[in-house]
Amino acid sequence: MIDHEGPTPLYVQVADAIAARIDAGELPPNRPIPSENQLVQEYGVARGTARKAIQLLRERGLVITVVGRGTYVAATNDGPTATR
């Protein structure tokens, strides 16, 4: 899943992996993506790497982060106003 030896930076790989899960519908709009700690567990990377990956997704407009709650899949027409 994640190639620790390849030329592509880990945080890019993690970001792409999450993007793929979003694209596949596994992570639907307005739903939270795994927390930083969960990403650390799932992908076997350091927290800094997970954070960089999320930051990348944020810059791509794929996710929205809410402090104290988590990071959510961006809705095409709506904000992060779900998850109850």
**Residue ranges in contact with DNA by CB under 7 A:** 4, 9-13, 32, 35-38, 44-49, 51-52, 54, 65-71
Cα separation, 10 vs 2, in Å, equals: 7
Shortest reach from residue 58's CB to DNA, in Å: 7
Question: Is the four-CA dihedral 64, 66, 72, 74 of positive or negative sign?
Answer: negative
Shortest reach from residue 3's CB to DNA, in Å: 9
Shortest reach from residue 33's CB to DNA, in Å: 7
Q: Residue 60 or 69: which CB sits closer to DNA?
A: 69
In DSSP terms, 73 is beta-bridged to 63
Q: Residue 20 or 41: which CB sits closer to DNA?
A: 41
Element (H, E) at 53: helix 47-59
Q: Residue 23 or 59: which CB sits closer to DNA?
A: 59
Residue 64 dihedral angles phi and psi, to the nearest 5°: -130, 135
For residue 76, give the DSSP letter. Answer: S
